[in-house]
Amino acid sequence: MTDLRVRAPETTAAELDAVLEAAVAAAPAFAATRPADRADQLRQAADALDAEGPRLVPVAERESHLPTARLTGELTRTTFQLRLFAQVLEDGAYLEATLDPADPGWGMGPRPDLRRVLQPLGPVAIWAASNFPFAFSVAGGDTASALAAGAPVVLVAHPGHPELSAATAAVLGDALAAAGAPEGAFALVGGLDAGRRLVQDPRITAAAFTGSLHGGRALFDLAQQRPAPIPFYAEMGSVNPVVVTHAAAEQRPDEIAEGFVASLTLGVGQFCTKPGVLLVPAGSGLQARIAGRLGRVGAAPMLNERIAEGYGAMLGTLAAHPAVTVLAGPDRAAPDPLPTLLGTTAAALLDDPRGLTQEVFGPTGLVVTYRGRDELFAAVRAFEGQLTATIQGVDDDPDAPALLPLLTARAGRVLWNGWPTGVSVTWAMQHGGPYPATTNATTTSVGASAIDRWLRPVTYQGVPDALLPEPLQDANPWGLPRRVDGVPQPAPERV
Amino acid sequence: MTDLRVRAPETTAAELDAVLEAAVAAAPAFAATRPADRADQLRQAADALDAEGPRLVPVAERESHLPTARLTGELTRTTFQLRLFAQVLEDGAYLEATLDPADPGWGMGPRPDLRRVLQPLGPVAIWAASNFPFAFSVAGGDTASALAAGAPVVLVAHPGHPELSAATAAVLGDALAAAGAPEGAFALVGGLDAGRRLVQDPRITAAAFTGSLHGGRALFDLAQQRPAPIPFYAEMGSVNPVVVTHAAAEQRPDEIAEGFVASLTLGVGQFCTKPGVLLVPAGSGLQARIAGRLGRVGAAPMLNERIAEGYGAMLGTLAAHPAVTVLAGPDRAAPDPLPTLLGTTAAALLDDPRGLTQEVFGPTGLVVTYRGRDELFAAVRAFEGQLTATIQGVDDDPDAPALLPLLTARAGRVLWNGWPTGVSVTWAMQHGGPYPATTNATTTSVGASAIDRWLRPVTYQGVPDALLPEPLQDANPWGLPRRVDGVPQPAPERV
């Protein structure tokens, strides 16, 4: 039974074809499953993954070099998000069920009976990330939101943790099957060739990716160049600028230095939300404070050799930039680097914004000193799209009111006196942002709204009640909140 | 004042640059405008267009060759949709304001205060269509939804109605300015070069187009190949298949023949929702009935010479297909053709689905005869993405339950015993569909939900109330419906 569901690490063309045929065959039944039943499938998958945690975490530890506590926490996050999507399904608002009864007096002319609901697009492809072997991998956020939407998932394993991928896929696939999900609702595949074939296959209706700008853009381009293009949601990271205002630098320098170092070095700097650039007032002394603290952080292993090599190359390029000075490090001792701190000025950043705002995936930060508000604001305007942007300020900070909209225009999440690592999974979370943070700023890969990316609207005109899908029938058998004749109606009390 | 706002028909590079600078300058103030104030701007624009109708309609008549009654009705539709978006703004649900208060007991670990709201993407580009000189043109649906969203609009005039475009833009621009919209919130430009520059300009954040597959795909490709790709919503038409079931063909042949001929020839067949393909049971005699009725429809002028030429070419290709027979016509007499009816079989369509399901933009229909349910269902599966798909059936029709999901999988709107022309503008309307009907099946270009395409989410983390945008402040000063801690809260009663 697991034959069709676990095809990593190197899926052949014939195997991929079988996986896709099974996904296509599963799509109608999976789409027609009651949300309450899909919620049950997600919860059973979460329970199974929790139960298998003691077996899965050591595999993750061996393959990713991440510590046990982090991986245990990440598995908690992973099963939490499966359960959050179960709540999203039970809530039902995600279907956007909208009913306009026929109205002969409608202002632009007689209106027929029109009823609109969101439906899954069909089979989707999802690429696992290296740096979250659970939460952005086989049973991760994109998988959870797609399964919640009723879209069969073909998951491309990350080569950095092949054994964990296969083990997780087996647990997830068995749990889904035991809970009644159709055969073909989930499959694991692997290999670069399979990925390239997948994104171009007409049976795939949408795709998501978390990883590098290079890899994400290449797959995005393939998806857009198809005879029939598909939505391709790539999350490609960013430098997540943090602005320290004059007032904050004066009032809380130690707290800021401590917070920055902790966020910068968390997970060996291997987060797409790592605060890669810190803008501080010139002469504030923050650089030295940070460098001092950073020197007390020990070396730690990176995820794998390939990432350590990539880190060394990116750090080397940035450290060699003529406008960059080295404040601590640089250390490229693969695979266990010490954190590195680099420095430059806002004037230099304005001269070469592209060169100085490139992401370095690993424990390196760049401190940018600015002279006065005008230079700070100009520097902020030089940033491209970001997943996050942060202000470190104080109460009634004179710089904050003008700074906040500038940062908001460039980011998907804006923080005040916080640090961007540690993305909570909630109803209100947005994990995305303007290009190059992602290829599509209008959706999120984390939080309840992520279900939207796998859905499309369909309107039924004049269709008899007995033929309508349940969300649109007069009796509202699923107990959904709906908009009727323009007026929002809450979900009826459920028995 | 109108200098910057009306730059058609051939906008130079320097003029376009000035238009874009003005749009960029307008974006923050336009985005920050209270929805109630933008609603007022839309209503004043609608009032001004209604008032100028007696002046505008004759211009439209001269340039489009469409009859007065149709154009008057289309203007009513146009101002109606501006007013519907005013209602959408006052309703406020479109902002999806979501507040998650800080929660130390959140299941995956302590949750910070997170608040999410949709914000406009920035300046957008919109291409006017030839066939709706009002409703899908300068002040049309995409303009209405983008202005409602708070996104400055750069509108590319259609060369088929230049004088009307300039006149409409002047009325719209003056009304918006008088109502307090920022300078730069709307501008008209024109010319192929300007359009190509526009879609590639980094200041444009999203775009929409209504027209041919060829033109839409070319602009889509330019938009996706940008260094920073943008959402490009192209609506490119379809053949909108109508299936006549066995039972319906027996019970209501005259009604079906009459309805088909009326919908097929409405507006000289120049609708993207024209029912271009009718599937009927072999031996039902429907072909002959339709041919007979069609022969009684007179010739009528097409929109312009270029469209008449294109129609002649497309019709010529289809009529020359070896599997196609001519049932009435063919008539290519540009610019005033008589309607044409062609016939083929489901078996032939299955042999060459691409060749026999191409849109012919004009008064030509293709009747496809099928032998039995299996052949019908196979033929339906051969269609690519459609704006609409229709069943002509009867009560308790034995074919309907299996047919409906097959059609739904291929279309954005599914009709029962109706005809697809005449797209109502309502809360529940969906005008879109899988490729090649559009480049993005997840949005609509008609109806209240169209506002979504111009918005992206932003989440504020730990931001003090005084710095938050109004939709997310504790006091809810805009009186929005919001989701708080996962629970939907209706809009508070307004004073």
Q: What is the mean pLDDT of chain B?
A: 96
**What's the mean pLDDT when you consider all of chain A?**
96
The answer, yes or no, to whether residue B4 has pLDDT greater than 90, is no
Q: CB A459 to CB B385 under 8 A?
A: no
What confidence score (pLDDT) does residue A8 get?
60
Q: Which residue of A has its CA nearest to B456?
A: A442
B contacts of A457 (beta carbons < 8 Å) = 412, 430, 432, 442, 444, 449
pLDDT, residue A61, reads 97
A-chain CB neighbours of B75 within 8 Å are none
Nearest CB among B408, B456, B467 relative to A442 is that of B456
For B445-472, the pLDDT digits (tens) are: 999 999 999 999 999 999 999 999 999 9
User: DSSP secondary-structure letter at B325?
Assistant: E
Contact B114, A425 (CB under 8 A): no
Tens of pLDDT, residues B72-123: 999 999 999 999 999 999 999 999 999 999 999 999 999 999 999 999 999 9
Q: State yes or no: cis peptide before B420, omega within 30 of 0.
A: no
Per the annotation, the verdict on A235 as an active-site residue is: yes
Instruction: Using pLDDT thresholds of 50, 70 and 90, give the confidence band for residue A5.
Output: low
Q: What is the pLDDT of residue B8?
A: 60
Q: What is the pLDDT of residue A1?
A: 35
Judged by phi (left if over 0) then psi (alpha if -120 to 50, else beta), residue B173 lies in: alpha
Residue B40 CA to chain centroid, in angstroms? 24
Q: Residue B6 pLDDT > 70, yes or no?
A: no
Segments in B53-133 forming alpha helices (H) = 53-64, 68-91
Contact present, A454 and A118 (Cβ < 8 Å): no
**Nearest alpha carbon to residue A120 among A212, A38, A242, A229:** A38
pLDDT for the residue numbered B374: 97
| Tally of CB atoms within 10 A around A426 | 23
Identify the residue whose tokens are 């609009």: B153
What is the rounded distance in angstroms from the CA atom of residue A294 to the CA atom of residue A419? 16
The verdict on whether A258 is a catalytic residue reads no
Mutate to test the interface with A, among B98, B224, B426 (most CBs of A within 10 A): B426
Q: A447 pLDDT exceeds 70? A: yes
Measured between beta carbons, the chain B residues lying within 8 angstroms of A425 are: 108
**What is the layout of strands, in order, in the sheet containing A487-489?**
A487-489, A482-484, A98-100, A114-120, A455-461, B411-416, B386-392, B242-244, B277-281, B364-370, B340-345, B325-328
Give the pLDDT confidence of A65-99 residue by residue, as tens digits.
999 999 999 999 999 999 999 999 999 999 999 99
Which of these is catalytic: B52, B63, B272, B375?
B272
Tokens of B185: 């919130």
3-state secondary structure of B6: strand
3-class DSSP state for residue B351? helix
User: Which tokens in the block code for residue A10?
Assistant: 């190197």
Task: Assign 3-class secondary structure to chain A.
Answer: CHHHCECCCCCCHHHHHHHHHHHHHHHHHHHHCCHHHHHHHHHHHHHHHHHCHHHHHHHHHHHHCCCHHHHHHHHHHHHHHHHHHHHHHHHCHHHCCEEECCECCCCCCCECCEEEEEEECCCEEEECCCCCCCCCCCCCHHHHHHHHHCCCEEEECCCCCHHHHHHHHHHHHHHHHHCCCCCCCEEEECCHHHHHHHHHCCCCCEEEEECCHHHHHHHHHHHHHCCCCCCEEEECCCCCCEEECHHHHHHCHHHHHHHHHHHHHHHHHCCCCCCCEEEEECCCCHHHHHHHHHCCCCCCCCCCHHHHHHHHHHHHHHHCCCCCEEEECCCCCCCCCCCEEEEEEHHHHHHCHHHHCCCCCCCEEEEEEECHHHHHHHHHHCCCCEEEEEEECCCCCCCHHHHHHHHHCCEEEEEECCCCCCCCCCCCCCCCCCCCCECCCCCCCCCHHHHHHHEEEEEEECCCHHHCCHHHCCCCCCCCCEEECCEEECCCCCC
Distance of CA A470 to CAs A37, A185, B230, B345, Å?
Answer: 14, 22, 35, 35
Does the beta-carbon distance from A461 to B425 stay under 8 Å?
Answer: no
Residue range A347-361, pLDDT digits in tens: 999 999 999 999 999
Higher confidence at residue B1 or residue A129? Answer: A129
Residues of chain A found within 8 Å of residue B413, distances taken between Cβ atoms: 458-461
- d(CA A2, nearest CA chain B) in Å: 28
Band (A7; pLDDT cuts 50, 70, 90): low
Chain A residue closest to B93 (CA)?
A488
The pLDDT of residue A385 is above 60: yes
Contact (CB, 8 A) for B367 and B278: yes
Which structural domains are found in chain A, ordered by start?
A: 2-236+441-455 (3.40.605.10), 242-416 (3.40.309.10)
> Given the DSSP bridges, would you call strands B186-189 and B325-328 parallel, antiparallel or unpaired?
unpaired
With 0-12 / 13-18 / 19 or more C-beta atoms within 10 angstroms meaning exposed / middle / buried, residue A466 is exposed
User: What pTM did the predictor assign?
Assistant: 0.97
Q: What is the ipTM of this complex?
A: 0.97
Alpha carbon of residue B321 to chain centroid: 31
Residue A124 Rama label (left phi>0; alpha psi -120 to 50; beta):
beta
pLDDT value of residue B332:
73
Share of chain B above pLDDT 90, in %: 95
Radius of gyration (Cα) for chain B, nearest Å? Answer: 24
- At B152, is the pLDDT very low, low, confident or very high (cuts 50, 70, 90)? very high
Quick one: CA torsion of B122, B128, B132, B135, rounded to 10 degrees? 20
Nearest by CB: A428 against B109, B115, B228: B115
pLDDT per residue as tens digits for the range B184-194: 999 999 999 99
Instruction: Check whether A479 has a pLDDT greater than 70.
Output: yes
Q: How far apart are CA B88 and CA A259, in angstroms?
A: 43
pLDDT at A3 over 50: no
The pLDDT-based confidence of A329 (bands split at 50, 70, 90) is confident
Q: What are phi and psi of A458, to 5 degrees?
A: -135, 135
Please report the pLDDT score of residue B3 as a whole number.
Answer: 46
- Residue A201 in contact with residue A227, Cβ under 8 Å? no
| Separation in Å, CA B337 to CA B240, B263, B324 | 21, 16, 20
Digit-coded pLDDT (tens) for A242-272: 999 999 999 999 999 999 999 999 999 999 9
Query: Which helix (H) or strand (E) segment is B159 a member of?
Result: none
